[in-house]
Amino acid sequence: MAVSPLDLLQRQAENAVRREVGRQSARVRRELSLVDQVRRMSGRAERAVQDAGRGLAEAARRPREAPELEELDPPGEGSRAGSGAVVCADGYVRRSPVQPYRKPKDRRWARRLIAVALLAVLALLLSMALWKSGLVRLNLF
């Protein structure tokens, strides 16, 4: 059996149709693939994050104007009852009607008393050590 030119053309046409059907079905599978959709969405999200990051970086580079400072209320006075401005040791101005500022009790006297007691105990121990060593002896009789 000889192969006629029409048979060759028919086979070529059939093969071309098969290739085209394969290409189209592969394209449809790619478009419907969940993995590909996730990849595309993650790419879009990554671009959005990069754009937002660029926007924040540009905003950070722009010079900003300092806000106007308001006058401080004197301590004990305020717009609401009991809300006075208190300037703390670090310079923070506390204005809170809910949490009043409490000053710690003055405990200098207690510290001084403890220091004096420690010095007395230290002096007693030192004198006992010197007495035991024989460097200091009192000849009373």
Query: What are the tens digits of pLDDT across the range 105-128?
Result: 778 888 999 999 999 999 999 988
Q: Same domain for 15 and 54?
A: yes
pLDDT surpassing 80 at residue 67 = no
Task: Note if the pTM is more than 0.75.
Answer: no
Mapped onto helix, strand or coil, the DSSP state of residue 87 is: strand
Helix (H) or strand (E) holding 95: strand 93-95
What average pLDDT does range 70-88 have in this prediction?
54
Domain that holds residue 23: 9-60
65 three-state secondary structure: coil
Do both 83 and 121 map to the same domain?
no
User: 136 with 130: CB under 8 angstroms?
Assistant: yes
The total of structural domains in the chain comes to 3
User: Same domain for 26 and 54?
Assistant: yes
Q: Are residues 113 and 126 in the same domain?
A: yes
What pLDDT score was predicted for residue 23?
95
Cβ atoms of residues 72 and 93 within 8 Å: yes
Tell me which H or E stretch contains 94. strand 93-95
User: Is the pLDDT higher at 58 or at 66?
Assistant: 58
Residue at 99 is within a domain: yes
| Pair (49, 20) in one structural domain | yes
Please indicate, yes or no, if residue 133 is contained in any of the structural domains.
Answer: yes
